[in-house]
Structure 1
Amino acid sequence: MKSPILKEALFTILKSEQEIAAKLQEITALLAASIPYYDWVGFYFKNGDKEELKLAQYTGEETEHTLIPFGKGICGQVALSNKNFIVQDVSEQENYISCGWKVKSEIVIPIFVNGENIGQIDIDSHTVHPFTKDDEVLLEFVCHEVAKLF
């Protein structure tokens, strides 16, 4: 699916009258259905005042990683660094939390509201080296638009 069509579908979801949780669930489903190598798509958000992330809406296989301490794994590192993190081959990453044997790569993009990192979108792929600059730009756009919900 081309980015303009995907962006149009995203705007339709964001403008809907649904609750935020339903919108986020639809966004994860849209991304997973639109991009063949997006095998797991989910949102993690800061868990209150705790130094951890809590899994919110996702599309893909269930994960036991519903709480991730800051600093642990790719998501936990992004919670501290406030920077995008792309891992093209998870076997080369020391601080990686495996969500399943099928996962070969991961991209995590933070979500900022008023300059504060409130959460992130996390994409796992069963393919090694699938992510391009286009993925990063698309997911930054998604995070920018999702931030407007908060």
Structure 2
Amino acid sequence: MIFNALKPEVEAIIKQSSRTIDEKLLDICKLLEDRVAHYNWVGFYFKNGNKNELKLGPYVGEPTDHVIIPFGKGICGQVAVSNQNFVVPDVSAQDNYIACSITVKAEIVIPIFVNGENIGQIDIDSNTPDPFTEEDERFLEFVCERVAQIIN
């Protein structure tokens, strides 16, 4: 499976001592968007200081106007509040969805925890309807665990 092949590559990115955290995060975004066919937009959002909002971090894909997302708004904002993975097989069926592009059909958001606190998330949009499986969730949890190691 593609995810097993990607894990060592994610580990290698995380361990690069000459790269900044943002450079490593961008490299992870590029890797995932490039190697997983149904990942069409890959980015990180992080808690914006003491505010109840998320701020866009490194990402690859179409530019987005959603640089700041209030907690509770959209899929990312809901994950900031719930602390749970959120898999959306059909974004058009979600009442509280913030549309980034008309081509997006599905979304998956996985929180990043540092010392038990939800400090951010990885957000992935797909132009393919209902593409995300439990394997996507487990792999992205792995990615978030590795990212948490360099954020703390």
User: Equivalents in 2 of 1:146, 1:90: separation in Å?
Assistant: 26
Structure 1 residue aligned with 2:57: 56
Task: Quote how far apart the aligned CAs of 1:3 are.
Answer: 2.0
Distance 1:94 1:69 in 2: 16
Identical counterparts, % of pairs: 61
**Separation in 2 of the partners of 1:76 and 1:83?**
11
Query: How far apart, CA to CA, are the structure 1 residues paired with 2:51 and 2:69?
Result: 11
Structure 1 residue identity aligned to 2:36: I
Q: Match of 1:4?
A: 4
**1:15 matched residue in structure 2:** 15
1:39-118 alignment runs, 5 A limit: 39-118=40-119
SS in structure 2 opposite 1:56? strand
Q: What code does the residue aligned with 1:82 have?
A: N
Quote the offset at 1:5 in angstroms: 1.7
Deviation (angstroms), 1:4: 2.4
- The whole-number CA distance in structure 2 between the counterparts of 1:118 and 1:45 is 6
Q: Partner of 1:30 in structure 2?
A: 31
Task: Give the structure-1-normalised TM-score.
Answer: 0.98
Q: Counterpart of 1:72 in structure 2: which amino acid?
A: K
Cα separation, 1, equivalents of 2:12 and 2:150? 14
Give the partner amino acid of 1:129.
D
Amino acid in the other structure paired with 1:40: W
Q: Deviations over 1:105-138 (max 9, x none)?
A: 0000000000000000000000110000000000
**Separation in structure 2 between the aligned mates of residue 128 and residue 2 of structure 1, nearest angstrom:** 19
- For 2:31, the aligned partner's letter is L
Unaligned runs of 5+ in 1: none
Count of residue pairs the alignment pairs up: 150
- The question of whether the paired residues in 1 share the 8 Å contact of 2:79 and 2:86 is answered with yes
Residue 95 of structure 1 aligns to which amino acid in structure 2?
Answer: N
TM-score normalised by L of structure 2: 0.97
Q: Which secondary structure state, in structure 2, belongs to the residue aligned with residue 74 of structure 1?
A: helix
Shift of 1:88: 0.2
Structure 1 residues 39-96: Cα deviation after superposition (integer angstroms, max 9, x where no partner) = 0000000000000000000010000000000000000000000000000000100000
In structure 2, runs of 5+ residues without a counterpart are none
Counterpart Cα distance in 1 of 2:46 and 2:133: 25
**Alpha-carbon separation, structure 1, partners of 2:104 and 2:3:** 24
For 2:62 and 2:82, how far apart are their aligned partners in 1? 27
